[in-house]
A = this chain, B = another copy of it.
Amino acid sequence: MEERMIQTLEQAGHRVTEPRSQLIKAVVAQKERPFTGEALYEELKEAGLGRATVFRTLKLLQDLGLLSRLHLPEGCQHYIVSPPEHQDGKHHDRIICRVCGRVAYLDECPMSEVIADIAKASGYKVETHHLDFLGVCSDCLASSDEN
């Protein structure tokens, strides 16, 4: 995962610097948990990273399709690591845990069959869509059942 990001960075003609490596390591460690730029900066500033570098690198990784932003009810400043299949810009529907923030991805896009109908009904040419499910993941369900 880490190597994949480093590779993508190189292949796109960007330098693999020490700060970038550290940032990549940190975001990969978040796994499927969303994190904010500010939180990441707090974590990385002791290693000497500046705020600007953190945000610049987050943006770069987004542009390369390695990270994406999440739009949660509490705000729009969360990032998550994109799964490998997303690098090619492929479509991805997500399911997000309201309790712990964990993000899972749907293997199959459930929309593909209805898109033609929607296009016809609305008169729009449908180009893409964003589908986020919000719910509670199995772990959080399990621990809340214990109450």
Contact = CB atoms under 8 A, between A and B. Distances in A.
Interface stretch (A13-21, A39-47, A81-89, A133-141): A133-141
Interface string A109-147: 011001101110111111111111111111001000000
A95 B130 CA distance: 10
Interface residues of A, number: 34
Nearest to A141: B125
A12 interface: no
In this complex, the member of A115, A129, A137 whose beta carbon has the largest number of chain B beta carbons within 10 angstroms is A129
A61 to B, nearest CB: 17
Given A118-B133, A130-B130, 19 more contacts: A71-B76, A76-B76, A95-B118, A95-B126, A106-B118, A106-B122, A107-B121, A110-B114, A111-B131, A119-B135, A122-B133, A123-B138, A124-B133, A124-B136, A126-B134, A127-B134, A127-B136, A131-B131, A131-B132
Interface of A: 71, 76, 95, 97-98, 104, 106-107, 110-111, 114-115, 117-119, 121-138, 141
